Each structure stands twice: as C-alpha cells, then as structure tokens.
Structure 1
Amino acid sequence: MKYLLPLCLILLIFSCKKEPKHESITITNTEVQDMVSFLASDELQGRMTGSDGIEVAAAYLENQLKSYGVKPYFETYRNHFKIADSIQAFNIVGFIEGTDDKLKDEVIILGAHYDHIGLGKTVENDSIGNGANDNATGTVGVLAMAKYFATKKNNKRSLMIILFTAEEMGLLGSKHLAKQLKTENLDLYTMVNFEMIGVPLKDRDYEAFVSGYDLSNMASKMNAYVGNNLIGFSDVSKKYSLFKRSDNYPFYQEFKLPCQTISSCDLTNFDYYHHVDDEISELNFDFMADLINKIIPAIEQMSNTPTKEIVMYESE
C-alpha cells in the first residue's frame, strides 16, 4: 500500500502530459519561400493571364487550398470570365465559413493577385518577369492565412479567399468579381488585399503600410488588435495613388466600404518592379514570414468582434 499514492501521482502526471493541447500554428520562412519559389519559377514563364504558366499556377493554388480544407466558394475554385472575347481567365476563390450563427453571414475578403507580366524586356539574356515580390509574395501571404484559419476554425465571420488574375491588365479579375458579388448581395464587412510583402521598408517605425490610409480606421484598428505599430502611412503610396492601383479598388468602388491593400513595398525599397530581376533572390523570407505571423492576429480579431469596428471615415 505504501507505493499506491506515488503510483497514482505518476499516472496522473502521465495522463496530464497526454492531454491534447491547442495547436500552435506559425508560418515559417521555409514554408513561404517554397511556395513563392514555385510561383516565381522560370517554368511558369511570368504567369501572364491566359498563358500555360498561369494555368500551372492556378492548379497549384487550387491544390494548396484543397489540402488546407478550404472549400470552393462557387461550384469549383475557378471564377471564370473572358478578356476581349478571346482570353479565358479565372480568379481562384475559396471560402472558410464563420463559426457564429449570425456573424458568419458577414464576409471578410483576403485577396491578392497571382498573375504577372509574363515575358518582359530582356536583361542579360533573361526575359522572364518572374514576379516574385509582385505578387507571388502577396499570394503566398493569403495562402498562409487560409491555412491558418482553415486549421484553427476560430473565425466567427466568414473569410473569402480570393486570388485574382488579370490585375496586370487593369484590375480585370477584381472588377469582374466585385461586380458579381455586389449583384449577389454579398454582406461584405471589409476587404484586405496583399501586394508585394517580400521586402522590409527602410527607415520606418512600422512594418507595412495600408493604401488609402486616410479613408478608414483600418490601420489604427489593426494596430490596436495586435498591440503595436504594425501598419502605417506611406507618402509614396498617397503620391502615386496606390490605393487605386490594386485589386482592393474595384471592391471599394462597388461596396463603398474599407477595401484596402497592405504592402511592405512602396517602390522606395525595391528596384525591380515589372523587371526580370524580380526574383526570389531579392526577397527577405524571414521578414515576410514574420509579417504574416503578425498580421494574422489582426485578421483573427477582425473576424471576431461583435460589431463591424472597421469603418470608413466620414468625408469632409
């Protein structure tokens, strides 16, 4: 009998160690590098809309979303449309339903464009516009977030995952889908787009900027959600109207809601915009993974607040 109590304690300790723990999900630099490397590889020939390369990219994105357990929003992941009656194009659209019976009807869009310019001006015998930073990085950022939320299943609002095509042709993919979703009366809360997140900003006290900073409280709310100065204002973004130059803008035009782009590149810190040297060797994957991991809690909080806290500022 004198060994009974210690044995019970041992069994109790052992059983406690075996209790399941909440899964911790961290996006690694290796994970993002592998995905960006595939999308920006020479074999995809710059991912021009309508090309064989973008077909390969689309199939890859579909397989990734399927492996995460992200369901198609439509009958398939592909949202088809035509360009000039000759080019077959398609956005890739997934859906992670919210867990709250009421809030799940409200939708947050996480988006990025996966197309690029294809073949460009030849520099040192290289003519492939690989588009590593623009915008394999944003695409992979959205994939990483899709994986996180599909695994955690803790978003009360629903998340729509959109990877746009034909951004480089004039935001054609987002224009098509924004109009379609508006016609279908989507209850959109906000749209957060991701563009060029593969290199850190220089001499800033924040890690990424949001386009259209003055239009809504998105930056201040996201910073409050994560408890630090993560998202800031870019003079360059305002000067060159970057708010109107990415896939957030058609959604803003259709819904008149906070639809903005987060980026860590305002072209002051990257020399290879639409250049054949936009390759993975120019990227900082430690920074990229860290940025994604810091943004995820902001999206998490955004998806779970009882009311829609991110709002447009009233125009003067």
Structure 2
Amino acid sequence: MKKILSLLAIVIILGCGGQKNIIETNPDSIKPLVGNTEEQATRTASIVNSEVHNNISLEVIKSSLEYIASDELEGRNTGSEGIEKAAVFIENQFKTNNIKPYFETYRDSFNIKEIIGYNVIGYLEGNDPELKNEFVILGAHYDHIGTAKAVNGDVIANGANDDASGTVAVLEWAKYFSKTKSNKRSILFTLFSAEEMGLKGSEHLAKRLKKENLDLYTMINFEMIGVPRAEHEIMAYISGYEKSNMAEKLNAYGSAEMIGFFPKAKSFNLFMRSDNYPFYDAFKVPAHAISTFDFTNFDYYHHVDDEADKMDFNHMTNFINKMIPALEGMINAPTKVIKMDNE
C-alpha cells in the first residue's frame, strides 16, 4: 500500500508541474557538454539552458541590483568606501558560487595617482582537456561617478543602468556556469573599476593578461542592459559590429535574432568607449560591448535618477536568460570560429 501511495504522490506532483521544480532544484545533476561538433555542442547547451535557466530569477537579479545601486554604496566612485562595499559583494558572490580567483586573490589592483582601484576577477576552468587552455572573458564595470547634479537634494549617482545592470548579468552567468559546469573553455568573469575614469581598470587588466600570454578567444563587455529598446528594434546591439562575425555567431548559437547593428554606434565611437576596447587593442581578437541602451530609451545617463526603480527587471531577466545558449555556443565551439573580419 505504501508503494502504491508513493507512486500516486509522484504522479500527482508531476501532473501539477512538479517536474519543473525538480529540474530547477537539481542543476548539478546535469552532465557537462559532450561531443566534438559545434552543432552537437549548441544542441546540448540548449537542453541545459531549458532545464536550468529558470534558476536565474527576477527576484535575485532585482535584489542584487538594488544593493549595488543603493545609496549605501554612494555612487561607487573608484577609490571610495562605496565601491569597496561593491567589491566585497562581488567577491562574496564568487565565493558562494565556487568561482575561484584567477590571481592570488579576486582583486587586480592598480593605481591612478593616489587612488587605488580594484578589478574583481573570478575564474572558472573549462571542462575540456584541450579547450580549457583557451579563455573567454565576460565583463562589465562596477564603478560609477559617485555624485552628479543635485535633484531634489539627491546628489548620489547610483548607476543602476550604468553599469550595475551589466555587473549583475555577469554575476548571474558566473553562478549559472558554476552550477552546470557546461563550459569547455575557461571563463574569466571580470568586473572593472575606473571605467568612468577612462577605461583604466580594463586597460590595466588587458595589459597584464597579455603579458602573461593568456590565450584569449573572445571578450564581451555588457554595458547598460537595464532597459529595453523599442518594440520594433532588435533586443540588443553590439559595438564594432563590422569588425568580426560575433553577432552572427551569437544569434546562431542562441537560435534567435538577439544581437544587431546600431547605426549610431560608429558616430558615437562606442567601440572605443567601453571596457572591451583595451582587450581588442592588446590581443587583436574579437572583443565587443553589448548593450540595450541606445540613447533614446533612458534619460538618466550620469544622472542621480539612474536608480533601481527605473530598471525593467522583466527585460533584464529575459536578456540574461536568452544570452545563455549564445554564450554556451561560443564558449564550447570546437574551433575558434568567431574571427576578426580581416582574418
């Protein structure tokens, strides 16, 4: 009788959607990607994504962003007490999710005159004996400008869209890959400081990694993804679109047209204005920024009202989840198929 009741209970649970919950709460049971073809890797990545991606929840994204963009962090100006709190938050996220430091500690420190800045770097080794020697970098900057012109007595420039949104995305992908262990190549999750001072943090790290002869395949920097574009526009755009075939490949891996061309990107010089550029400059490999901010859909760039309550968390959650199969396809491709256009 007990066996019959147990079986009935299982049937009832599955009938009520319990199977989804079982999958979501057991991501570690999913096996790493196998196979030698790009098609198989992409197909397997899509299966992994469908079973695990719901662990990346709106509530967690909202909670993380609300803290990083809170008044307590005082606008995260490089060298401030506020950005130190942000760095500790990022380090704790890495520790909690078994992301190791790439250097002796998570911090890559540098000086700008009397100011000490810190990039925060997490490292996840690839699961393929050969491809793990190649690296993909996923990055965003966690600093902001500190204060801005006062509005109703508020002077704190919280930087929710710029770039707490990208920072949270990178942390969520770090958590995802640490659970699924679905990365054949090694990944560096890089959160940059001093972006607002002229890309100083990313410039320092790119030169350091180049000096150490890191085998860098690709780098993507995620810049201001907290608000959606107009309905008739593609979800996101990539800077330096014409410099490589990255957009084409990411869309193919993700089985959707997610990443497109932004006509004004060149006139605004966006390729050279974000933390991707020092890696392109040092390594001469595909290194781009991806954004959903196009200068028409958000009025609070470097403004005190760039706050968490202005973010569209449904859009952020959707974007972060949709990018997973695209990132997995890139990270697990058997050869370096994303190339500069002049190759």
TM-score, normalised to structure 1, is 0.93
Aligned position for 2:36: none
Aligned position for 1:219: 247
Superposition deviation, residue 154 in structure 1: 1.1
Superposition deviation, residue 204 in structure 1: 3.5
- Does residue 120 of the first structure (1) align with residue 148 of the second (2)? yes
Q: Aligned to 2:327, which of 299, 303, 311? A: 299
Structure 1 counterpart of 2:73, one-letter code: L
Q: Aligned to 1:43, which of 72, 84, 91? A: 72
- Does residue 137 of the first structure (1) align with residue 165 of the second (2)? yes
More helix by share: 2
Aligned residue runs from structure 1 range 54-65, under 5 A: 54-65=83-94
Superposition deviation, residue 89 in structure 1: 0.8
Aligned position for 2:121: 93
Question: Does the residue aligned with 1:278 lie in a helix, a strand or coil?
Answer: coil
Aligned position for 1:198: 226
Partner Cα distance (1:68, 1:103) in 2: 22
Question: Does the residue aligned with 1:168 lie in a helix, a strand or coil?
Answer: coil
Question: Does the residue aligned with 2:53 lie in a helix, a strand or coil?
Answer: coil
Q: Report if the CA contact (8 A) 1:39-1:136 is conserved.
A: yes
Structure 2 counterpart of 1:54, one-letter code: I
- Does residue 166 of the first structure (1) align with residue 224 of the second (2)? no
Deviation per CA, 1:179-216: give whole Å up to 9, x if none: 00000000000001100000001144410000101111
Q: Report if the CA contact (8 A) 2:53-2:321 is conserved.
A: no
Q: Report if the CA contact (8 A) 1:107-1:159 is conserved.
A: yes
Partner Cα distance (1:121, 1:24) in 2: 43
Partner Cα distance (1:25, 1:205) in 2: 25
Structure 1 counterpart of 2:109, one-letter code: H
- Does residue 30 of the first structure (1) align with residue 55 of the second (2)? no
Q: Report if the CA contact (8 A) 1:127-1:276 is conserved.
A: yes
Question: Does the residue aligned with 1:287 lie in a helix, a strand or coil?
Answer: helix
Question: Does the residue aligned with 1:274 lie in a helix, a strand or coil?
Answer: coil
Aligned position for 1:228: 256
Q: Aligned to 2:99, which of 43, 46, 70? A: 70
Aligned residue runs from structure 1 range 260-279, under 5 A: 260-279=288-307
**Mind listing any 5+ residue stretches in structure 2 that lack a counterpart?**
31-50
Partner Cα distance (2:285, 2:298) in 1: 30
Question: Does the residue aligned with 2:289 lie in a helix, a strand or coil?
Answer: strand
- Does residue 149 of the first structure (1) align with residue 190 of the second (2)? no
Partner Cα distance (2:296, 2:286) in 1: 25
Superposition deviation, residue 124 in structure 1: 1.4
Give the aligned length. 307
Q: Report if the CA contact (8 A) 2:126-2:187 is conserved.
A: yes
Partner Cα distance (2:120, 2:243) in 1: 28
Partner Cα distance (2:195, 2:247) in 1: 24
- Does residue 310 of the first structure (1) align with residue 331 of the second (2)? no
Q: Report if the CA contact (8 A) 1:205-1:229 is conserved.
A: no
Deviation per CA, 1:135-184: give whole Å up to 9, x if none: 00000000000000011001000000100000000000000000000000
Q: Percent identity of the aligned residues? A: 55
- Does residue 104 of the first structure (1) align with residue 138 of the second (2)? no
Superposition deviation, residue 10 in structure 1: 5.8
Question: Does the residue aligned with 1:31 lie in a helix, a strand or coil?
Answer: helix
Give the RMSD, CA atoms, in angstroms: 2.1
Superposition deviation, residue 236 in structure 1: 2.1
Structure 2 counterpart of 1:212, one-letter code: G
